[in-house]
Amino acid sequence: MTVLTPAAAKRNVLILAVCMALANSAVTLQVTLGGLVGHILVEDKAFATLPVTFVVAGTALATIPASLLMRRIGRRLGFMLGCLVGSSGSLIAALGVYLGHFWLFCFGAFVFGGSSAFVQLYRFAAADIAPQDFRSKAISWVMVGGLVSAILGPEIAKYTRELLTPHLFLASYLAAAALPVLVLGILTTVTIPPPTLSELKEQGRPLLEIVRQPTFIVAAMAGMFGYGVMNLLMTATPLAMQLCEHPFAAAATVIQWHVVGMFFPSFFTGNLIARFGALRIIMVGTMLNLVCIGVALSGVGVWHFQIALLLLGVGWNFMYIGGTSLLTEVYRPAERNKTQALNDFLVFGTVALASLGSGKMLYHWGWDFVPLSALPFILMAGLAVLWLLLQRKQPLLAE
């Protein structure tokens, strides 16, 4: 793929950031409401978070097809197709809400999840078109776009939840269907060079050879455990707050600040990676997650949830962007699509398992068990970073 000039790269990265902001708002809305709508529609409340699991499962299963498809048709057409999938999924979910049909609602969530696989590739598209010295910042810029979703997604949920009563949340899912259509229009202005003929013909190294690299292992673990733990706690939080008799507005605000924590650091995460290296930033993310777990176990007041989820968001940002930046070191141009596809499949497969387990953990063993179950995975990620630093013979602290 042709790398754009610095000026052109910055312009197109900014467009991708806007698309990320709007597309991720629909994702935030789906995650905020999935468990709550599921709680209304399903009889066995232990399955209330299943719609969120279907979103993530759809994402996991679509990661490899989405990435390989983009290798053939290019990033822009692939993103446009993702918009159509996302809008269709939200409309199906809206029909499920209207009919009061839990499994139709879950199917819509699953279809929508497929579109999220395309959304996750915005960060790689930014890295692909950016010069080497701008790459980590380009990833970070696109992730900044997600900051808008921290406000827009929950706000749409709050102000549309009762617009079409007695069908609670129906208007919210119709709004979620409109957002990808808006993104589709913006994508017509972006320039992403298609793969070159040599890249299409060249296969690169076998995937097994790529994944055996220590750098790939640590990058994948940072994404898998950082995103998995984040989803585990985030999915359970609105339901846990409901069980603690906190109002819906408080839960929406907690999720809102959590998403702020996820994306606001992106203003400087790229600079921090450029200064200290991806491994050290991932390590800081693991430490923030450990503090988050401590706060979550200390009480069930609104402020406990607020602080824990804020720390969780920042920890995710450092682990996810750090892992993405680290991953760009392991593949050659002809290998980018299959390597990115496998990485995202591992990440979102882990997230799907986490979201599936969160509801059962919460209802069968209580809130405290949810953050406790996250502890060993965060510790493993931290140990993996230390292992790679030793492999590279680098100190944990930068000089």
Q: How many domains does the chain have?
A: 1
Determine, yes or no, domain membership for 397: no
Say what the pLDDT of residue 398 is.
57
Q: Cα separation of 359 and 365, whole Å?
A: 10
Which domain covers residue 184, as residue numbers?
A: 6-391
Say what the pLDDT of residue 328 is.
84
Determine, yes or no, domain membership for 398: no
Say what the pLDDT of residue 200 is.
63
Give Cα 106 to chain centroid, integer Å. Answer: 19
Q: What is the CATH number of the domain that holds 216?
A: 1.20.1250.20
Say what the pLDDT of residue 377 is.
93
Say what the pLDDT of residue 219 is.
94
Q: Cα separation of 294 and 261, whole Å?
A: 17
Cβ of 394: how many Cβ atoms within 10 Å?
14
Determine, yes or no, domain membership for 84: yes
Read off the pLDDT of residues 75-119 as tens digits, 9 standing for 90 and up.
889 999 999 999 999 999 999 999 999 999 999 999 999 998 898
Determine, yes or no, domain membership for 56: yes
Determine, yes or no, domain membership for 396: no
Determine, yes or no, domain membership for 95: yes
Determine, yes or no, domain membership for 48: yes
Region of residue 190 (left: phi > 0; alpha: psi -120 to 50; beta: else): beta
Q: List all residues 6 or more positions away from 141 whose beta carbon is below 8 Å from its beta carbon.
A: 13, 14, 17, 126, 266, 270
Q: Cα separation of 342 and 68, whole Å?
A: 10
Q: Is 205 exposed, middle or buried (0-12, 13-18, 19+ CB in 10 A)?
A: middle
Structure tokens at 234: 């985030």
Counting as low any pLDDT under 70, the low residues of the chain are 1-4, 46, 194-202, 394-399
Greatest Cα pair distance, the chain, in angstroms, is 62
Determine, yes or no, domain membership for 1: no
